[in-house]
Amino acid sequence: MTFFGTSSYTKIDPYHKALHNNVRDLPSFVRSGTVENADKLISAFEETEKNSKALFILLDTMVDENR
């Protein structure tokens, strides 16, 4: 089964990149067991959650389009 030809496939990249970028930033908000920039940490988790939901909606749509 290939998903490359689905219209949703082309929409995945921005959400996928944002998800990885947000997660990559998380360790910089925690140093020596102390949370620094708690507002940035919370924001990064919120953005990660938002992008994760969007990504999984697109993945489900790709499966539907491929049927």
Residue 32: pLDDT over 70: no
Domain boundaries, the chain: 9-65
**Element (DSSP H or E) covering residue 34:** strand 34-35
What confidence category does residue 63 fall into, taking pLDDT thresholds of 50, 70 and 90?
A: very high
pLDDT at 54 over 70: yes
What tokens appear for 59 in the block?
């993945």
Question: Residue 23 and residue 15: Cα distance in Å, rounded?
Answer: 12
Res 21 pLDDT > 80? yes
